[in-house]
Each structure stands twice: as structure tokens, then as C-alpha cells.
Amino acid sequence: MKISAFFCTVLTLLCSHAFASDPTARFAWFEYQGKDAVYEKKPAEGHFQNPIFSGFYPDPSITRAGDAFYMVTSSFAYFPGVPIFKSTDLVNWQPLGYILDRPEQLNIKDAGVSRGVFAPAIRYHNGTFYMITTNVDGGGNFIVTATDPAGDWSNPIFLPEIDGIDPSMFFDDDGKVYITHNGPPPGEPLYDGHRAIWMWEYDVKQQKVVKNSAKLLVNGGTDLAKKPIWIEAPHIYKINGWYYLMCAEGGTADKHSEVIFRTRSLAEPFVPYENNPILTQRDLDPARKNPIATAGHADMVQTSAGEWWAVFLATRNYDQDYFNIGRETFLLPVTWKDGWPHILPAKTEIPYQLPKPKGLPTTENAVTLTGNFKWVDDFSKPALGFEWNVLRTSDSNPYELGNGKGVLLKARKVSMADSVQPAFIGRRQQHHTYEASTRLALPLKENVTAGLVVFQSEQAHYFIAAQKVPGKKPKYRVVLEKAEQSAPAAIHIIEIPKVRSHVDFKVEGDEGKIAFYYRADGDKKWKPVGKTLDGKILSTQKAGGFVGTYLGLHARID
């Protein structure tokens, strides 16, 4: 696995007395366990589990190099940015690290959590990997390249001519290279959500867009008269003499879909398929059991055995249209009819389990990314694992690894509600039903608040933490804070009468319900902090944005 340079901090030995004199919080371990009922039935022999990436892994893009497949997903304001995975069987995946793992590649110092990096696309051509994406507030569209996808990627090559998001690259047989993207329509928009798909020629050697090469491919969507919204995520493929243009349409909520166009020549118009969309879940009863919804934003790849498969985003909902875990990555076979690809028939539910791709060798060094699992980190390795991210970038690292003494967060005067980097590390919530816990070492400096955070956005999160009570005797209190479309505020404060060395925190989530607990040194049982609370405030439906919930560790100076 590629180890990010950002995570490789060499440390001297740390002594416990230093923790009290510095604004530092030390956490000994972190544990996460998923308990979704839909995962209780294991796939039959020769079958696989959907989603293949559970939790916040949206906007997947895939490419093939030889016998291996490589996939990337969006990362928004989390750092390192753009996770990259490798597979030989399309089902099991090995994390290779992150493409944007150096701050000079990704300026997101003050980005909101749902800003930053939108919709990467990955392609392989003549020994080089290309990743193209958008930093929406930090320079716009850009390309990075690598010959080893697990190695260092280049610094960004910015494309100032391209206005919009969701860029993708296409390498034609004649040597020409094109970039497609979502952008403003020609003239004034005719309605809210009116967008267009554009194409530019790109000079790989000069690393520049060819001037005056912009071409309008799609205005509005499959039928402008019906006022389609948010045509985006375009990918071009050349298959059996046809150029296919596949796009998302309908927005990323419950009307999301995937549509297809084709043409014999890029000099001629793309014609929409009369049986569009080729993937959607909007034509199903939202009250169905264990619904998968919002399907779209797809990419396709062909195996060495000749099969075509599509990866795409969708959501697993509870109470019809709520989801806290973000948009996930799913896998389905592509079938062909009369020269057109089909990902899923109309009015058909996306299956949770189905047969694996044929004739592909099992992926080596794969990690568990779906199903129910238990995950524990004691922070004993020299770098944080792939699962962890920080929020935004800064000039200094917000954590240190303590040479077997856990992870140390260097508390800052920054809360999770602020728009600069907090002292925070987090991992994805990948299940609707789950629990997570951690151990915080004591003592703490008097002005430090540290503990476990459940974070969806700056205005939607919970934080259970310890604070030292002012006074000569070492007393502590547990504070539970809540942000619900507002600044965080304390909703429960409990004084701990006697603490020797640590306090543990735990969160239990069950779809739209969430509960918090603490266990002081010497306690045998967990003690609740208040009653069960509203977990729906962490859902995209209420919190807004494009990300899923993160579970992690946070320390701040008050």
C-alpha cells in the first residue's frame, strides 16, 4: 500500500507527563463495528455483495491496465484526496493510497466539507495513468499523471479554459485526445438545472487544451423540451465503431439516472437512446424494503473475457429517503441490445447480491470494504492507515503518532464548525447500524476539550468529549455537544467524580437514532449520556451537501 508522505512524521519518544503540560490529547485506540441487517446473509459461492464500497465513496470512475482495474472516487474537502484502488476481479479491492497526497497538489485550506474535489475520472493510455477532476474553489479543473498508480502523482496541470465540473478524458484511435465536462449551456439557461455537455481537444505533449476547440455535445439532456436537469459526469467510449457518450441526468437525489447517446463520428451529433435511462431507481416504490436509490454517475469497463461492467453511485436509504452514510459505489453487469448498453432494466431493483464477473483472478491484498465487519486501530504503525483522513489542508500536521503510545491530536482553537483545519482524524461511517468507541488518556490541560466526534458537516455533528474542571483537584466532566444547522452547543454535561488514567467514549447508531456513552477508568459498564437522540440531522436529506458521515477523534482549545 502507498503510504502518504503527509502521514509519515518521524517522532521522538513521548512521556506521559508532557500530555498535561501541552494542549495535546492522546487516544489509545479506536474501534468500529458495522451491524447492518442487510449484510447478515452472506453471498452464495460465486456471488458478491453490493455495494462493493460501503459508505462515503461517491462518483466512481474506473479504468483497466492489462489485467488489473483501477478505481477512484470523490473526496471533497477530506485529505489526502482521491482514494485509488486496484482489483483483478472487480469485486475485491486493494487500496493503493491517495492520488492527491501532498498539500501542493490540493489547496483546500478553507473549503467547506462539501466543496474541494468533485468527481474524478481515471484513464490509462500508453503506459500512463491520467486522473482529471475539479477543485471547485482552488483552481478549477486539472489533470495529474503517474506511470505507477501506487507511486507519486504529478502536480496539477490546470485547465483554465474549461468552465464546469465532472471532466473526463477520451483517447481516440487516431491519437487525438478529448476532454468532456459539464458546463453552462449556450446563452442564458432556460430553466433551473439547465446544463450542457462540452468537449475540447487536448494536446497531451503540450499539456494544454487546444484553443477554440470547444464543441457542444448535449444541450440540457436527452430531450430539451422536457427540461431535463443536471446533465453531468460525461464519459466517451469507442466500441465496435460507435462513439458512446454516457452521462448522469436528473440530479443526484431521487430522480438521478444514467443516460446514453451515440454517434458514428465525433464530427456528427450524438443521438440519445430512445429507451433511456439505462439505469435508475426513480421508477420504483420508495416504500419498498431496503431501498437502494439515487443511482447514477456511472463509468464502464471491459474485462479481458469480453464482459462489460459498470460502477456507479447509489444510496442505501432508511425511512424511504434518509441516509447518513453518503453515496456508495455499486457494481452491475452491462448487457447490450441492438448496439446499446443497458445497466439495469426499467422498474428493476438493484440487487444486493449477484454473480461475480467471469474468469477473473481473485484480488491480492484486498481489504474489507463492504458487509459487516469489526475494525480496530491501536495506532501502533508508523503511519495512519488508509481508512483515516483529516479535514482540509494546513501548514502543519494536526496529529502525531506516539511510537506505540497512541495517536496525539495537537489541539487548536478550531472547532468542527469552523472552515479551517481542525485537530481531527476520521474514518467513514459505513453502516446504518454501527458502534464506535475510543479511549482518551488523562490528564488534559484545563483549556482542552477532546473526545469522539460524529461529523457530517460544519453545521451537523455531535461531539462527546472530556474537559478538566477548573480547580486544584483533578476533576473532569463529560460534555455532549450538538450542531443542528447551527453552531454546536452543549446539551449534556456530566461531572466525573474520580478519574485516574483515562475515559472511554462510545457512540451507537441505528439508522435515524443515535446514542452516546462514557466509561471512566474503573467503571465496568458504559453509562449513557442523555437519551437516544436524533440521528437524522446527520442525513444528507437534512444536512445537505454531498458527503457522508465520518467518525473520529477531535481536540480543541477553548
Helices (H), 46-158: none
Alpha-carbon radius of gyration of the chain: 24
- Peptide linkage before 160 cis (omega within 30 of 0): no
3-state SS of 317-337 is CECCCECCCCCEEEEEEEEEE
CA-based angle 341:346:351, to the nearest 5? 85
Catalytic residue among 36, 59, 377, 387: 59
Amino acid at 529: V
CA dihedral for 203, 59, 265, 242, sign (positive or negative): positive
Do the beta carbons of residue 327 and residue 294 sit within 8 Å?
A: yes
d(CA 49, CA 44): 10
Q: Is 19 helix (H, G, I), strand (E, B) or coil?
A: helix
Question: In 116-270, where do the E strands start and end?
Answer: 117-125, 128-135, 140-146, 157-158, 165-171, 177-183, 196-203, 208-209, 215-219, 232-239, 242-249, 257-263
How far from 41 is each of 166, 276, 369, CA to CA, in Å? 36, 33, 16
d(CA 296, CA 119): 12
How far from 319 is each of 224, 322, 513, 536, CA to CA, in Å? 33, 6, 12, 10
Does the active-site annotation cover 510? no
Name the grid cell of 227. 427540461
H or E element, residue 18? helix 16-21
CA dihedral for 232, 114, 27, 103, sign (positive or negative): positive
Catalytic residue among 166, 232, 377, 387: 232
Burial readout 65-93 (b: 16 or more C-beta within 10 A, e: otherwise) = beeebbbbbbbbbbbbbbbbbbbbbbbbb
Does the active-site annotation cover 400? no
3-state SS of 168-210 is EEEECCCCCEEEEEEECCCCCCCCCCCCEEEEEEEECCCCEEC
Contacts of 50 (CB under 8 A, 6+ apart): 292, 330, 331, 332, 350, 351, 352, 353, 354, 370
Report the half-sphere exposure of 129 (CA within 13 A, side-chain side): 27
Which of 111, 205, 118, 104 has its CA nearest to residue 162?
A: 118
Longest Cα–Cα distance of the chain, Å, equals 81
H or E element, residue 374? strand 374-377
Backbone angles phi, psi at 289, to 5 degrees: -75, 140
**Active site members:** 59, 232
